[in-house]
A and B are shown apart, each in its own frame.
Chain A
């Protein structure tokens, strides 16, 4: 049977009864849990892991393929309506999605996000199927120097997504990087800034930090504000056009395609993940636009780009997992664990003996992305009405969900304390114009940068690595230099904004 013939057989298998139940249930579960800030797809995947130990491989891949793909759009719903991203990658969507909701275009933003997600995921899956047989040499060519350069490129985009003073943005990136280093030094295993605490020896984890900086800080803003309802004067729950939202990605099809390609490419690179994909795509939307003044104030292109990239990333992120067993994100780490537990070995077996299973997984991802968008769109009216909830009711509920999510993450109450501490810090930082986005991006990328920097230095010391022999690394380094040079040029040219503080 040919490659595409196997793909067709797997699609029929995935759509047959009772197998179709698994992607549908997986998608719906992912949607519901993703609506809750902090209790995202990762917790759900971990939660289901012990329940699925006795299952056959096909239902497993159908369920987990749907869980990988089903969570993304709903994370953006909370970002657009409440400014509380359901996951880190959705943080890019809130930059323009939430201002749109405040301008009475909640439905437009949600419909746009749904359409961009669905189309972006389709592009990602098509590229995955096309690249699967041929990409292996490229991914194998990535060494520590290439990973380091890629992470540095991600860090340079921080300056694009930061707000207000670049000095503050760069300082926050430095602090985010530094706090990510808390724990054991990867070379000497010497404790760094642990102060004798076992909890800190394990390092600060992204989920409690993220919950604090975004969800708790937002809840504090709601509590401290004298405004009682979001729908009172800023947001009209019923305003906005679903049709306009659906057509927006098609109107900006060039941006949609480029963002999907960015998402797929970044998804392919293990360890980078959806957050970088969303923010790089958002940065690209800003950089490639002639009129940038509307970004951050409700420009629909600021929704199209991160949503398309985020969902396209899912297709790309499956590539290194299926071909090499290299997870590219937290979700694919869990997927890899599930596959391994059930004796499905990624790599050559996955591309030969288990090829139908591989395609079943890809189809589950594809179906879940479309199902999420369609169900999400059907529920847009109801979801948009949620933004009319009173803030004095929302705030304690958000705090309670954060408490549940922080503890559910790995069963440690200290994670709750960390989330709340970062929440208070996030509120104060925001109040005085210190941007949080550079902090969290640097925090997420720090371990990748450090590990690959140390490994590259070590390999160079023993004469096993020369940058001049690594054309991919040189290309990525040139990209970093070009990004910085371009930004410096643009900053000089740009009209100076007032400090938001």
Chain B
């Protein structure tokens, strides 16, 4: 049994199952293609879940016609380096912080601020360099996105509440 792997397989099963149930509520024409795709996908995911739960032989070792030699990709050296749960949580937290700060402060303010803070606190870059990077990011957003492309960026909720 591989609990973490089974958890991921289970989550994918839940996602696929949810889409499958929602597809059943669609009209006959609209659900035809989704069902053709989702039914076999669900079966494959369940098979993998059973493998990860140790209820089916072959967990972690593909066999038969389903097995094939295939190229790996990714930052293998980096990915293979020791990972601590705390680091992973911090990484996901930093991503969540981007979303939260953009929602509260708006992209033009939040992104340069977030970048500056992360560079200083996490990467220990000098404040002047981080501030310069943040300033360049702000200019790129204002000049590139807002003025040239004419992108309408919604103001952050916090700034909206404060009437700024």
Task: Give me the interface of A with B, judged by CB distance under 8 Å.
Answer: 46-47, 82-83, 94-96, 98-99, 102, 159-171, 174-175, 177-178, 181, 185, 187-188, 190, 192-193, 216, 218, 220-227, 230, 233-235, 286, 292-293, 295-297, 302, 390-393, 395-397, 399-400, 403-404, 407-408, 411, 413, 416-417, 420, 423-424, 427-435, 437, 450, 453-454, 487-488, 490-492, 494-501
Selected from A102, A165, A227, A302, the residue in CB contact (under 8 A) with B62 is A165
User: Given that A161-B71, A496-B67 are contacting pairs, would A403 and B27 also be in contact in the complex, using a CB cutoff of 8 Å?
Assistant: no
Cβ of B162: which chain A residues have Cβ within 8 Å of it? none
Contact B72–A167 (Cβ < 8 Å)? no
A495 to B65, CA, bound (A): 12
Chain A residues positioned under 8 Å from B125 (CB to CB): 393
User: Taking A420-B98, A434-B8 as contacts, is the C-beta distance between A495 and B78 under 8 angstroms?
Assistant: no
Interface residues of chain B: helix, strand, loop or mixed (majority): helix
Residues 121-156 of B at the A interface (beta carbon under 8 Å): 122-125, 133, 137, 140-141, 144-145, 148-154
A98 touches B75 (CB 8 A): yes
Q: Is the CB of B33 within 8 A of A454?
A: yes
B82 touches A192 (CB 8 A): no
Give chain A residues whose Cβ lies under 8 Å from the Cβ of B91. 220, 223-224, 395, 427
With a CB–CB cut-off of 8 A, which chain A residues contact B122? Answer: 392, 396
Q: Are A407 and B5 also in contact (CB < 8 A) when A222-B75, A424-B92 are? A: no
Residue of B4, B33, B66, B83 ringed by the most chain A CB atoms within 10 A: B33
- A83 and B69 form a contact (CB under 8 A): no
User: Does B102 contact A286, Cβ atoms closer than 8 Å?
Assistant: no
With A230-B77, A429-B8, A501-B5 already in contact, the answer to whether A411 and B149 are too (CB < 8 A) is yes
Contacts of B27 in A (CB 8 A): 185, 188, 190
Interface pair A102/B77, CB less than 8 Å apart: yes
Given contacts A193-B19, A224-B83, A417-B99, is CB(A497)–CB(B62) below 8 Å?
yes
B118 at the interface (CB under 8 A from A): yes
Asked, given contacts A221-B74, A221-B79, A420-B99, whether A399 binds B94 with beta carbons under 8 Å apart, the answer is yes
Q: Which of B4, B37, B92 has the most CB of A within 10 A?
A: B37
Q: CA separation between A177 and B16, bound complex, in Å?
A: 11
Q: Determine whether the beta carbon of A497 is less than 8 Å from that of B98.
A: no
Q: Decide: A499 and B60 in contact? CB cutoff 8 A.
A: yes
Q: How long is the Cα–Cα vector from A16 to B30 in the complex, in angstroms? A: 56
**Which residue in chain A gives the minimum CB-CB distance to B78?**
A225
> Cβ of A432 and Cβ of B4 under 8 Å apart?
yes
Q: Which of A221, A297, A408 is close to B71, meaning CB atoms less than 8 Å apart?
A: A297
Check A178–B37 contact: CB distance below 8 A.
yes
New A-B contacts (16) at CB < 8 Å, excluding given A177-B37, A399-B98, A407-B151? A161-B70, A167-B44, A170-B66, A185-B26, A190-B26, A223-B91, A225-B83, A392-B123, A392-B124, A396-B94, A396-B118, A399-B95, A400-B114, A416-B98, A427-B91, A496-B67
- Nearest residue, chain B, Cβ from A169: B70
A420–B76 touching, CB < 8 Å: no
Given A166-B67, A187-B30, A188-B29, check contact A174 B37 (CB 8 Å): yes
Decide yes or no whether B38 CB sits under 8 A from chain A. yes
> Which residues of B sit under 8 angstroms from A423, Cβ to Cβ?
95
Closest CB-CB distance, B51 to chain A, in whole Å? Answer: 8
Q: Give complex CA distance A391, B122 in Å.
A: 11
A174: which B residues are within 8 A, CB to CB?
16, 37-38, 40-41, 44
Is B68 part of the binding interface, using a Cβ–Cβ cutoff of 8 Å? yes
Q: Determine which of A160, A424, A491 lies in contact with B95 in the assembled complex, contact meaning CB atoms within 8 Å.
A: A424
Interface string of B39-70 (1 = CB under 8 A from A): 01100110110000000000011111111111
A227 to B12, alpha carbons, bound, how many Å? 30
Q: Judge whether B72 and A408 touch: CB under 8 Å.
A: no
Bound: A3/B148 CA distance, A: 41
A461 to chain B, nearest CB (A): 12
Q: Are B67 and A226 in contact (CB under 8 A)?
A: no
| A347 to B: closest C-beta gap in Å | 31
Least CB separation from A181: chain B residue: B34
Bound complex: CA A219 to CA B72 (Å): 18
**Contacts known (A221-B74, A396-B123); A226 close to B65, Cβ less than 8 A:** no
B109 CB within 8 Å of chain A = no
CB of A234 within 8 A of CB of B77, answer yes
- Please, how many angstroms separate the alpha-carbon atoms of A230 and B78 in the complex? 7
Q: What are 9 pairs between A and B in contact, CB < 8 Å?
A: A47-B148, A160-B68, A166-B65, A224-B88, A225-B87, A292-B69, A404-B111, A404-B144, A416-B98
* Cβ contact of B73, chosen from A163, A188, A416, cutoff 8 A: A163
Q: Is the CB of A175 within 8 A of B33?
A: no
Q: Is the CB of A160 within 8 A of B144?
A: no
User: A471 CA to B51 CA in the complex, in Å?
Assistant: 43
Whether A167 lies near B119 (C-beta < 8 A) is no
Provide the bound-state CA to CA distance between A171 and B133, in Å.
41
Whether B159 is near chain A, meaning CB under 8 Å from some CB there, is: no
Task: Give the chain B neighbours of A302 by CB distance below 8 A.
Answer: 71
Given the known interface contacts A168-B48, A297-B71, A302-B71, the answer about A220 and B153 at a Cβ–Cβ threshold of 8 Å is no
B84: chain A residues within 8 A (beta carbon):
226
Query: Which of B71, B82, B88, B153 is the one whose CB lies under 8 Å from A296?
Result: B71
How distant is A360 from chain B, measured CB to nearest CB, in Å? Answer: 27
Interface centre among A166, A178, A428 (most CB of B within 10 A): A178
Q: In the complex, what residues of B have CB within 8 A of residue A495's CB? A: 69
Q: Which residues of B contact A234 (CB under 8 A)?
A: 76-78
